[in-house]
A and B are shown apart, each in its own frame.
Chain A
Amino acid sequence: MGNMLPLYVAIPLGTAFVLPLLGKSKRLERLCDVVAVVASTALLALVLTSLFEGGSATYWMGKWSETSIIGISLVCDGLTRLLLVTVNLVSFLAIIFSVSYMKKYRSKGLYYCLFFVMIAGMNGVVLSGDMFNLYVFLEIAAVASYALVAFGCESEELEASFKYLILGSVGSTFVLFGVGILYNVTGTLNMAQIAQAVSGKANNAVLMAASFFFMGFGLKAAMVPFHAWLPDAHPSAPAPISAMLSGVLIKALGVYALCRVFFNVLGMSAPFATVLMTLGVGSMVVGVLLAVGQWDFKRLLAYHSISQMGYVVLALGVGGEMLVKGNSALAGLAIFGGLFHLFNHAAFKSLLFLCSGAAEHGTGTRQLKELGGLMHRMPVTSACCRVAALSISGVPPFNGFWSKLIIIIAVVQAGHYALAAVTVAVSFLTLVSFVKVQRYVIQGELRSALSSIREVPVLMCCAMVLLAIICLTAGVAVPVLRDVLLEPARNVLLNGIEYAVVAMGG
Chain B
Amino acid sequence: MIHGVLPYVLATILLGVGIYAITCKKNVIKIIIGVIVTEYAVNMFLILIGYRSGGIAPVLTRAMDKSEFINQSVDPIPQALILTSIVIGLGIVALMVAIAIRLYEKYGTFDISEIRKLRG
Contacts and interface: CB of A to CB of B under 8 A. Distances in A.
Given A136-B88, A180-B49, A208-B8, A159 B78 contact: no
Interface in B1-51: 1, 7-8, 11, 15, 19, 22, 28, 31, 35, 38-39, 41-42, 45-46, 49
Contacts of B95: 143, 146-147, 165
Contacts of A232: 118
B77 A162 contact: no
A156 interface: yes
Interface string A154-177: 111011111001100110010011
Contacts of A236: 118
A251 interface: no
Nearest to A163: B118
A184 B75 CA distance: 11
A173 B38 contact: yes
B117 A294 contact: no
B102 A158 contact: yes
B120 interface: yes
A165 B95 CA distance: 9
Interface string A307-342: 000000000000000000000000000000000000
Interface residues on A, range: 35 or more
Q: Tell me if B's interface is mostly helix, strand, loop or mixed.
A: helix
B31 A180 contact: no
B115 interface: yes
Given A158-B106, A161-B99, A232-B118, A169 B46 contact: no
Contacts of A231: 120
A290 B120 contact: yes
A160 B77 contact: no
B77 A189 contact: yes
Interface string A274-309: 000000000000000010001010010000000000
B14 to A, nearest CB: 11
A161 to B, nearest CB: 6
A299 B92 CA distance: 26
A150 interface: yes
A170 B38 CA distance: 7
B118 A156 contact: yes
A139 interface: yes
B17 to A, nearest CB: 13
Most buried by B among A176, A183, A232: A176
A166 B106 contact: no
Contact of B49 (A161, A169, A183): A183
A143 B87 CA distance: 13
B110 to A, nearest CB: 11
Contacts of B96: 162, 165-166, 169
A70 interface: yes
A162 B91 contact: no
A294 B19 CA distance: 31
A180 B120 contact: no
A189 B45 CA distance: 16
A146 B46 CA distance: 26
B81 interface: yes
Interface in B93-115: 95-96, 99-100, 102-103, 106-107, 115
B19 to A, nearest CB: 7
A132 interface: yes
Nearest to B102: A158
B62 interface: no
A177 B38 CA distance: 10
Contacts of B11: 177
A184 B35 CA distance: 24
Contacts of B78: 180, 183
Contacts of A143: 88, 91-92, 95
Most buried by B among A70, A166, A173: A173
A21 interface: no
Nearest to B3: A184
A170 B77 contact: no
Interface string B35-74: 1001101100110010000000000000000000000000
B49 A150 contact: no
Most buried by A among B1, B42, B49, B100: B42
A136 B86 CA distance: 11
A236 B117 CA distance: 12
Contacts of A160: 118
Interface of B: 1, 7-8, 11, 15, 19, 22, 28, 31, 35, 38-39, 41-42, 45-46, 49, 77-78, 81, 84-85, 88, 91-92, 95-96, 99-100, 102-103, 106-107, 115-118, 120
14 contacts: A132-B81, A146-B95, A150-B99, A155-B107, A158-B102, A158-B106, A159-B117, A165-B95, A166-B22, A177-B11, A180-B45, A189-B77, A294-B120, A296-B120
Interface of A: 70, 132, 136, 139, 143, 146-147, 150, 153-156, 158-162, 165-166, 169-170, 173, 176-177, 180-181, 183-184, 189, 205, 208, 231-232, 236, 290, 294, 296, 299
Q: Which 5 A-B pairs have the closest CB atoms?
A: A155-B106, A184-B49, A173-B38, A177-B42, A232-B118
Given A143-B91, A158-B103, A184-B7, 11 more contacts: A136-B88, A153-B102, A159-B116, A173-B39, A173-B42, A176-B42, A177-B45, A183-B46, A183-B78, A205-B8, A290-B120
